[in-house]
Chains A and B, each alone.
Chain A
Amino acid sequence: MDSLVKKICAGDVRLASRLIRDIEDKLPEAKAKIKKLYAYTGKSFIIGITGAPGAGKSTLTDALIAALRKKNKTVGVLAVDPTSPFTGGAILGDRIRMQRHAEDAGVFVRSLATRGALGGLSHAAGDAIHVMEAMGKDIIIVETVGIGQQEIDIINHAHSVVVVLVPGMGDEIQTMKAGLMEIADVFVVNKANRPGTNQLQTELASMLNLASKNGKGWQPPIVMVGDAFEPGAFAEKIAELERKIEEHHKYLIESGKLTERMHRKAMAEINDALSACLLEPVIQKLASTGELDSFAEKIKSRKADPYTVAEEIAKNYFIRQDKK
Chain B
Amino acid sequence: MPERKIRVMVAKPGLDGHDRGARVLARYFRDAGFEVVYTGCHQTPEQIASAAIQEDVDLVGLSCLSGAHRALFPKVVQLLREKGASDITVIGGGIIPEQDFPMLYEAGIKAIFTPGASLDSIVEWIKTNIKPH
Q: Which residues of A contact B (CB under 8 A)?
A: 13-14, 17-18, 20-21, 24-28, 83-84, 87-93, 95-96, 99, 102-103, 108-111, 113
Question: In chain B between 1 and 27, which residues have their CB closer than 8 angstroms to a CB of chain A?
Answer: 2-5, 7, 26-27
Interface centre among A13, A20, A91, A96 (most CB of B within 10 A): A91
Interface centre among B29, B43, B44, B54 (most CB of A within 10 A): B54
Q: How far is the CA of A96 from the CA of B33 in the complex (A)?
A: 21
Interface residues on B, range: 20 to 34
Query: Which of chain A's residues have a CB closer than 8 A to the CB of B29?
Result: 89
Q: How far is the CA of A83 from the CA of B30 in the complex (A)?
A: 9
In the bound complex, do residue B51 and residue A95 qualify as a contact, i.e. CB atoms below 8 Å apart? yes
Query: Which of chain A's residues have a CB closer than 8 A to the CB of B55?
Result: 17, 92, 95, 110-111
Q: How far is the CA of A84 from the CA of B35 in the complex (A)?
A: 10
Q: Which secondary structure characterizes the binding site on chain B?
A: mixed
- The answer to the question of B40 belonging to the interface, with a C-beta cut-off of 8 Å to chain A, is yes
Q: How far is the CB of A29 from chain B (nearest CB, A)?
A: 10
In the bound complex, do residue B36 and residue A18 qualify as a contact, i.e. CB atoms below 8 Å apart? no
In the bound complex, do residue B47 and residue A103 qualify as a contact, i.e. CB atoms below 8 Å apart? yes
Query: Which of chain B's residues have a CB closer than 8 A to the CB of A108?
Result: 54
Find A102's partner among B2, B30, B47 (CB 8 Å cutoff): B47
Find B30's partner among A14, A21, A84, A99 (CB 8 Å cutoff): A84
In the bound complex, do residue B36 and residue A109 qualify as a contact, i.e. CB atoms below 8 Å apart? no
Q: How far is the CB of B32 from chain A (nearest CB, A)?
A: 6
- The answer to the question of B78 belonging to the interface, with a C-beta cut-off of 8 Å to chain A, is no
Chain A's closest residue to B37 (CB) is A92
In the bound complex, do residue B37 and residue A95 qualify as a contact, i.e. CB atoms below 8 Å apart? yes
In the bound complex, do residue A14 and residue B85 qualify as a contact, i.e. CB atoms below 8 Å apart? yes
Q: How far is the CA of A24 from the CA of B47 in the complex (A)?
A: 24
